Structure 1
Amino acid sequence: MSLDSQYFADLYATNEDPWAFRTRWYERRKRDLIMATLPRQCYERIFEPACANGELSALLAERSASLVCQDLDPTAVRLARERMAGVAHASVEQARLPGDWPGGSFDLIVLGEVGYYLDPTDWLQVIEQSVASLTYDGGLLACHWRHPIAGCPQDGREVHDLLSKHLPLYPVVRHEEADFLLEYWSCQPSVIDLDEPCL
């Protein structure tokens, strides 16, 4: 069973940055690695579910013409909207995976630190929806903590095993450390970007 909304409400009840995204060097460095992994300078439309308080979202906005962010928790949505204030091409919605999947297509989907909160059935649905939503040259990035998390139905390795098994995409980047795993897959075998930068 996937975790319910109360799990996240409890986290945000006493701390607006429960994972220390804003303050920990580990998190800042991981965001920098995520951004360096993206092979294209600019993406037309990015989807980031589970955006939390929007720290990664702010960086993704700099590399996109349109950014759709979602989070299950209303406090996280408020914080992400505050973080993204003034970024006209970004939206932050309250939504729950896998049911509240946005319409349209994306040339990048970022699944960061979200898979282990979902049971394998829901995670497989997210994988299927991701593939169906990617443009012909789109990419999918996933990054997850490798260690077990108390109360979560999966760990990061299980999450990435399912991605590797069920994504009909080309593997482009795999970066593995003691604490996290970062991977990027593409719909096309070549991801060289000859487009103009984002305006």
Structure 2
Amino acid sequence: MSGLAADEDYFESLYRDSADPWGFRTRWYEQRKRALTLAALPHRRYRSALEAGCATGELAAELAGRCEHLLACDFHEGALHRARLRLAGYPQARVERRRLPQDWPDGVFELIVVSELGYYLGDRDLDELLRRARAGLGDGGVLLACHWRHRFAEAVRAGDAVHAAFAALGLPRLLRHEEPDFLLEAWSPDPTSVAAREGLSAMTDPTPSEQETR
């Protein structure tokens, strides 16, 4: 099977047995991780965004509120059915069946999100996904990755190794959030910080006397 190294039967059984096999909608861990992911995005809005591996569409639904156009992709029909239902109220979002990286979409994106996908890919496919993501990222675009750090049977590599491969692209890193359970990082060809974009980094720190009078 091209694309995912994990056996397709693994995903088939997950979506056959549960409408929400990872608890994306119900687990506080997942809800909190999505909130951190949204907070990590340095721009308020994005004209065009791609989520590679959207699963049931929970993250895509929250990304849609920040995007003018969002393409959410997955390869399994069970996931896509749930994602389409979840995104039905977001006309700016479309859901497509794509086996990545082979079916990588054309075009340039201001935001590319790869969440909980990279460790399922074999070496060649991960390299291809990284190449296509870099080629499809706009000049000031943001590439965001988030991955579970613990090993499990279906994973080809740990999440840390996935992020090391992303870092090897050589893009300036905007953010790294590290917890025992997951890594969340963002990179961009444009390293300008959020504070600098809003003119805050040009402000001088208050002097000690000014601080004392506040």
| TM-score (norm: length of structure 1) | 0.94
1:178 to 174, 180, 183: 180
Does 2:69 correspond to 1:81? no
State the match for 1:197 in structure 2. none
Does 2:125 correspond to 1:116? no
State the match for 2:75 in structure 1. 72
SS of aligned partner of 1:189 = coil
Higher relative contact order (CA 8 A, sep 6+): 1
Does 2:32 correspond to 1:29? yes
2:102 to 99, 102, 105: 99
SS of aligned partner of 1:33 = helix
State the match for 2:209 in structure 1. none
State the match for 2:8 in structure 1. 5
Find the aligned partners of 2:42 and 2:10 in 1 and give their Cα distance. 35
CA RMSD of aligned residues (A): 1.2
2:43 to 40, 44, 49: 40
Find the aligned partners of 1:120 and 1:28 in 2 and give their Cα distance. 30
SS of aligned partner of 2:106 = coil
Find the aligned partners of 2:10 and 2:193 in 1 and give their Cα distance. 38
State the match for 2:170 in structure 1. 168
CA deviation after TM superposition for structure 1 residue 51, in Å: 0.4
Could you tell me which runs of 5 or more consecutive residues in structure 2 were left unpaired when the two chains were aligned: 199-214
* Aligned residue identity for 1:170: P
Using the TM superposition, name which of 5-14 and 29-38 deviates more. 5-14
CA deviation after TM superposition for structure 1 residue 168, in Å: 2.7
Using the TM superposition, name which of 3-12 and 156-165 deviates more. 3-12
SS of aligned partner of 2:42 = coil
Could you tell me which runs of 5 or more consecutive residues in structure 1 were left unpaired when the two chains were aligned: 195-199
Residue correspondences, number: 193
Find the aligned partners of 2:149 and 2:105 in 1 and give their Cα distance. 28
State which structure, 1 or 2, has the greater radius of gyration over its C-alpha atoms.
Answer: 2
Give identity over the alignment, percent. Answer: 47
